[in-house]
Amino acid sequence: MLPLANIMARKVRTAISVLAVGVGVALFLVLVGLTSMLGEIARRTTRVEAHLMVWPASDQVVVSGGLPADKVEADLEAVPGVSHAIPVLRWPFKMAGRVQNVYGIRPADWRFFAQPDQMIDGRTLEGGWEMVIDSRLAGAGGYAVGQTVERWGRRFTIVGIAREGVAGRVFMPIDTVSEALQQRGRRASFFYVRVSDPGQVAAARDAIRERGLNVFTMDEFYHVLASSFVDMDLVIGSVVFVAAFVCFLVILLTVYTMVVERTREIGILKGIGASRMQIFGLILAEAGLIAAGGIGVGFLLTWGARTLILHLQPLWTCEIPPVRFAYAAALAAVGTFLGALHPAMRAANQDPVESLRYE
Amino acid sequence: MDTILETRNLTKVYRADGVATPALRGVNLAVAAGEFVSVMGPSGCGKSTLLYLAGLLATPTDGTVIVAGTDAGSLSDGGRTHLRRAHIGFVFQRFNLLPTLSAEDNVALALRLRGTAVADRPRDMLRAVGLEEKRRRRPNQLSVGEQQRVAIARALVTQPAVLLADEPTGNLDSTSSEQVMDLVSRLHAESGQAVVLISHNEQVAARADRLVRMRDGQLID
């Protein structure tokens, strides 16, 4: 009764405090949600029916723009235990207002990239000036099967749409990409490699490495990608820390002001029988109400911000697991508690006689 | 008659910047259960300090306060709070109602702080002071006389053994002052609670069973 009445007595200040906590909560959740975009890319890239990824050594990329596909394929399939070497020629290609990495693959290799039931419209690649795109890109760009897209001076026809989750958002026949790029001979940006016996993956990896190529298991490649995001995680972590600290300061300032402003009231409460613990609890309860409101507002802001982001950038990913909401609420609660602690202790220890004389 | 409140050699010295200012000098006062005592004296003579010490809101530099047979000097801060809650009600000169609460909630708060069932007691108490119809009004919607009556209701709703009133008519006009003192006298007569009242006003103080005068931190008669 009293905590609610007290915070409602200063509606504007309470609203600003609630909003400040809410912005902190939303900032935390949206940033965490946006980091899921990086994980989504890493998951997609490694979600292929293969065991290894083989990349050229860096000097080969500079000199030749990739690997000679036929020669490296033969070399890789000569490695004991290797059953398939799957070349991919990757090249940037602008669709739906954003640059996508086209996966140039052999049409017959499609089975390694998607299950048959992942095609939700049209057909898979056969050859020529055609492409398969994923459902996310189709939705973002408003693309449909049969539609044509002009790039590189050519007209490409969308022949199929695959459910999102496949490695790339755009697939084309590898020979088509080579021809469009006017490459001499078939080249590959990297290879996926299947091993006939999963127990031989490490041995195959080591054998390929001896040939001077960069090779990773799928798990290793996922972690290489993830570790390349560490700097971004640091930036995001810093922003989250600043947001949490600002929340803490807002609560500290708000509650401190409330306590100073109500010095006399605290004296009255003690005069009519309130104990130190009751005063302490009263101040924490007021801060808790502000925090609860802030958490609620933060969740609403998060929903609004996420909706807006995905509307403006439909190819972005912003996944926020429920546990993150609990984490954000806990963070706000802890920040609030810490922010309210000093003012609450100050209030609890106020001399009632001096408080009653306070003007 | 049993003594409900007693001060023994009560001494209070305020210290600020190394300067000691004595406010009370060994005050001995005993108030019997149901007795109405007025304390009169000039400003700065220590009347309010005596009341705050007797009400266990402050701790003495020396001496002790005994409430309902319990020596408060031997108690912790929590123990003094408990003793104050159990036996003492306060009425202040400036009413000191919480501005965010209605009259009824102000009265109920005194019960809630004690963990006591509220039920209809605040309403009944406001009826006793003639403010049942205005129980939902906030303090700023009441006259000063009405605010003081709410403060009296708040002090008495817990049925304390002693009511300590610090110049309860000090901020009131003569009519309101008369009404408030009529109320205090009536409730005292009905409930049998002891009353210690501080006042500048001879007429107000004269309503008591016993008048005590103070000067320079001491009782003079």
Residue A352 has pLDDT above 60, yes or no: yes
pLDDT tens track for B93-121: 888 899 889 999 999 999 998 888 878 88
Please tell me if residue A57 touches chain B, with a CB cutoff of 8 Å: no
The burial class, CB within 10 Å (0-12 / 13-18 / 19+), for B74 is exposed
Cβ–Cβ < 8 Å for B208, B31? no
Please tell me if residue B96 touches chain A, with a CB cutoff of 8 Å: yes
Enter the tokens of residue A323.
């546990």
Cα separation, B85 vs A271, whole angstroms: 9
CB hemisphere CA count around B184 (13 angstroms): 37
CB hemisphere CA count around B213 (13 angstroms): 7
pLDDT tens track for A276-329: 999 999 999 999 999 999 999 999 999 999 999 998 888 888 888 899 899 889
Mean pLDDT in residue range A329-349:
89
Q: ipTM higher than 0.85? A: yes
Mean pLDDT in residue range A220-247:
76
A/B interface, count of CB pairs below 8 Å:
69
CATH number of the domain residue B175 falls in: 3.40.50.300
pLDDT at A88: 94
Cβ–Cβ < 8 Å for B177, B206? no
* Nearest residue of chain A to residue B163 (CA atoms): A272
CB hemisphere CA count around A320 (13 angstroms): 23
Residues in chain A: 359
Residue B44 has pLDDT above 90, yes or no: no
Residue B176 has pLDDT above 50, yes or no: yes
Looking at chain B, which runs of residues are DSSP E strands?
3-16, 19-32, 36-40, 62-67, 70-71, 88-91, 162-166, 194-198, 210-215, 218-219
| Chain mean position to CA A191 | 26
Please tell me if residue A275 touches chain B, with a CB cutoff of 8 Å: yes
Q: What angle do CA B196, B200, B202 make, to 5 degrees?
A: 90
Q: Which residues of A touch B112 (CB under 8 A)?
A: 1
Tell me the percentage of chain A whose pLDDT exceeds 90. Answer: 40
Tell me the percentage of chain A whose pLDDT exceeds 70. Answer: 96
Residue B218 has pLDDT above 90, yes or no: yes
Residue A237 has pLDDT above 80, yes or no: no
Please tell me if residue A230 touches chain B, with a CB cutoff of 8 Å: no
CA proximity to B88, closest of B54, B43, B60:
B54
Enter the tokens of residue A250.
């807002």
Band (B203; pLDDT cuts 50, 70, 90): confident
DSSP B194: E
Enter the tokens of residue A293.
């409101």
CA proximity to B10, closest of B52, B58, B51, B62:
B62
For tokens 């920040």, what's the residue?
A: A335
Decide: helix, strand or coil at residue A217: strand
Q: Which residues of B touch A352 (CB under 8 A)?
A: 52, 57-58
CA proximity to A48, closest of A101, A23, A85:
A85
Q: Which residues of B touch A6 (CB under 8 A)?
A: 100
pLDDT at A62: 45
The domain total for chain B is 1
Band (B200; pLDDT cuts 50, 70, 90): confident
Mean pLDDT in residue range A18-29:
90
Domain of B73, in residue numbers: 3-219
pLDDT at A239: 73
Burial of A123-140, coded b for 16+ CB within 10 Å and e otherwise, reads ebbeeebbbbbbbbbbeb
Cα separation, A186 vs B33, whole angstroms: 108
Cβ–Cβ < 8 Å for B23, B49? yes
pLDDT at A63: 46
B100 CA: distance to closest CA in chain A (Å): 6
pLDDT at A230: 67
CA proximity to A331, closest of A298, A304, A303, A359:
A298
pLDDT tens track for B148-163: 899 999 998 998 999 9
Enter the tokens of residue B7.
């001060």
DSSP A163: P
For the entire predicted model, the pTM comes to 0.77
For chain A, give every domain's residue range: 2-42+230-357, 57-212
Mean pLDDT in residue range B114-141:
90
Please answer yes or no on whether B78 and A276 come within 8 Å at the CB atom.
yes
Average pLDDT, chain A: 87
Mean pLDDT in residue range A59-69:
62
